[in-house]
Structure 1
Amino acid sequence: MITTITTFVLPKPIALQEAKAIFLSTAPKYQAVPGLLRKCYVLSEDGQTAGGVYLWQRREDAEAMYTDAWRAFVREKYQTEPQVVYFNTPVLVDNGTHEILTDD
């Protein structure tokens, strides 16, 4: 499994409720993305930085998401350039299902 963390510094801070409305407007586009297991939208406490934490089945699935078109979407929606960092995720603790999952 692969975890990616995307972040982007906003041109001006936004409030949590505003961020929630924006995030809800884009959430449906992530429901059918191949290989995407989970996406958590995030907003820093000061409202200056937003982004997402994604859990992917494979790195190739993640790389297929972060295209020039995706970057253009983020630039248009948030007026800023996104940053993407990749992490290997060899073990996942899922308290919702009471499972410990591995990348095997």
Structure 2
Amino acid sequence: MITVITTFRLSTPITQEEARTIFLSTAPKYQDVAGLYRKCYVLSQDGSTAGGVYLWNSQEEAEAMYTENWRAFVREKYGTDPLVTYFETPVVVDNVTHEILSDDQAGSAA
């Protein structure tokens, strides 16, 4: 499994309420994306940085998302370029499903 963290500095800080409205407007774009298990939208406490934490089945599936078209979408929506960082994710503790998942079980992950 792969975790990707995307971040982007906002030119003007936003409130949690503004972030929620923006994030809800883009959330449907991420439903039913091949290989994407979860996406968590994030906002820094001072409202100056936003982004996402994504859990993917594989790096190839993740890379299929972060294309120049996706980057252009982020630039248009937030007025800044995203930083995309990939992490190997050997183990996930899921307290909702009460599972501990490992990357050797990726096909059956959350």
TM-score class normalised by the smaller sequence: over 0.9
Aligned residue identity for 1:75: R
> 2:107 is matched with which residue?
none
Secondary structure of 1:74 counterpart: helix
Equivalent residue runs for 1:70-85 within 5 Å: 70-85=70-85
Q: Does 1:27 align with 2:27?
A: yes
Q: Distance in 2 between matches of 1:101 and 1:77?
A: 34
Q: TM-score, structure 2 length as denominator?
A: 0.94
TM-superposed deviation, 1:23: 0.0
Q: In the alignment, what sits opposite 2:45?
A: 45
CA distance, structure 2, for counterparts of residue 32 and residue 98 of structure 1: 23
Gapped regions of structure 1 (runs ≥ 5): none
What letter is aligned with 1:50? A
Kindly report structure 1 stretches of 4+ aligned residues shifted beyond 4 Å. none
Gaps of 5+ in 2: 105-110
Q: Under a length normalisation based on structure 1, what TM-score does the superposition of the two structures give?
A: 0.99
Give the % identical residues.
73
* Structure 2 CA distance for aligned equivalents of residues 71 and 98 of structure 1: 35
Kindly report which structure 2 residues correspond to 1:6-25, keeping only aligned pairs within 5 A, or say none: 6-25=6-25
Aligned-pair CA distance for 1:32 = 1.4
- The alignment of Structure 1 onto Structure 2 pairs a total of residues equal to 104
